């Protein structure tokens, strides 16, 4: 009977390991696609949320302390159809929105933060990993 418990434990461990490896591979593929779409670096984009203070207004998965309620949650941003409720969620539109939200939507609460082109690409890349 002891051998059966051991065998079950080995099978469960192997299954969990395979699942974890599959999840890591999937996340890596999502990051690669996001980088290709935007020309940005997703990992650096996540770090930039703290630099620009985005978490003071937005809830952002994976970003410590980013639980703001003034702006929309960015959970599953990569699956959204629109940005700011009116523009198609394309890399070009997202990068422009991150750099100049007031130009795109003058009445938006999102402030101009002086986001550089490189930073906007990195932030956009991270946002597209949020599925």
Predicted TM-score (pTM) of this structure: 0.80
DSSP 83: E
For residue range 26-75, list pLDDT tens digits in order: 777 888 988 999 999 999 999 998 899 999 999 988 788 888 999 999 99
Percent of the chain as helix, strand, coil, to the nearest 5: 60, 5, 35
Look at the chain and count its residues: 131
Q: Give 33-78 as a DSSP string.
A: HHHHHHSS-HHHHHHHHHHHTGGGT-B-TTSTT-B--SS---TTGG
Averaged pLDDT, 11-22 = 52
| Domains located in the chain, CATH noted | 2-127 (1.10.760)
């Amino acid at each position: 009977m002891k051998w059966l418990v051991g065998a079950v434990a080995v099978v469960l461990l192997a299954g969990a390991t395979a699942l974890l490896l599959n999840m890591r591979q999937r996340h890596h593929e999502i990051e690669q696609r996001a980088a290709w779409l935007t020309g940005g670096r997703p990992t650096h984009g996540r770090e930039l949320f703290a630099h620009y203070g985005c978490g003071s207004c937005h809830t952002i998965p994976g970003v410590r302390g980013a639980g703001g309620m003034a702006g929309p949650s960015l959970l599953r941003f990569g699956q959204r159809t629109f940005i700011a409720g009116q523009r198609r969620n394309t890399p070009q539109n997202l990068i422009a929105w991150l750099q100049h939200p007031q130009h795109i939507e003058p009445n938006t609460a999102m402030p101009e933060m002086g986001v550089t082109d490189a930073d906007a690409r990195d932030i956009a890349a991270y946002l597209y990993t949020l599925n």
